[in-house]
Amino acid sequence: MKASLHSVRIAPKKANLIAKMIRGMTTAQAMNVLERTNKKAARLLEELLRSAMANASHNEKQDAQTLVIRTIIVNQGTAYHRGVPMARGRVRPMRKFLSHIDMELGLPEDEEEKMQRIQKSQRKQKSADSTSQKAASTVKKSNAKAKNQKVSKKTSSESPALSPVEGSASSSSVSS
């Protein structure tokens, strides 16, 4: 249930704006949105969606109206190199970008399956966050221990010798 367009003459940024609009929609909703959007990318994606729906109904024997747009990937293709003439015989280079667009349709997930997938990804994220927090706390503890050891070395290396003022006062009291 896939369809693809390769080396189509539209910039990937422009095509991706329209692709974001319909990503995750049902095919009927996406067709409605694309028909009402006044952009070149909308015409291209509408054609691609019709092709993917035809592939699903012919090859996979699926009802095309119940399918959901799983993924739309817009990649940059090669670029045409053109030039605009400037003063003194110079040429300003221009690049006309081409796009590769891949679309995949799939069956809509049940709400339970969707919730399980989301919870699983959240658990993975939490476990990754907790391991990074544990690593950060051990680094902080080791830094604090190192600072405490430096402070204790400084205090132990300093002798409890008296200052010259205190030393003179104590020697005068001893001699009397």
In terms of Cα–Cα distance, which of 39, 46, 38 is closest to 10?
39
Query: Rounded to a whole number, what is the largest CA-CA distance in the chain?
Result: 117
**Amino acid at site 85:** P
- Please tell me the distance from the alpha carbon of residue 27 to that of residue 30, in angstroms, as a whole number: 5
Instruction: List phi, psi (to 5°) of 144.
Output: -65, -40
pLDDT one digit per residue (tens) for the chain, 176 residues: 899 999 999 999 999 999 999 999 999 999 999 999 999 999 999 999 999 999 999 999 999 999 999 999 999 999 999 999 999 999 999 999 999 999 999 998 766 677 788 788 888 888 877 777 777 777 777 777 776 776 666 555 555 555 555 555 555 555 54
Write down all domains in the chain, each with its CATH number in brackets: 2-84+92-119 (3.90.470.10)
What DSSP character marks residue 24?
T
Q: What is the pLDDT of residue 138?
A: 72
- Please tell me the distance from the alpha carbon of residue 141 to that of residue 147, in angstroms, as a whole number: 10
For the chain, first and last CA: distance in Å? 108
Q: What is the pLDDT of residue 176?
A: 43
Q: What is the pLDDT of residue 163?
A: 52
- Please tell me the distance from the alpha carbon of residue 7 to that of residue 144, in angstroms, as a whole number: 58
In terms of Cα–Cα distance, which of 72, 69, 73 is closest to 109?
69
Give yes or no for a contact between 62 and 104, defined as CB atoms under 8 angstroms apart.
no
Burial group, residue 48, by CB count within 10 angstroms (0-12, 13-18, 19+): buried
- Please tell me the distance from the alpha carbon of residue 34 to that of residue 49, in angstroms, as a whole number: 10
Q: At what angle do helices 40-59 and 12-22 cross, to 10 degrees?
A: 60
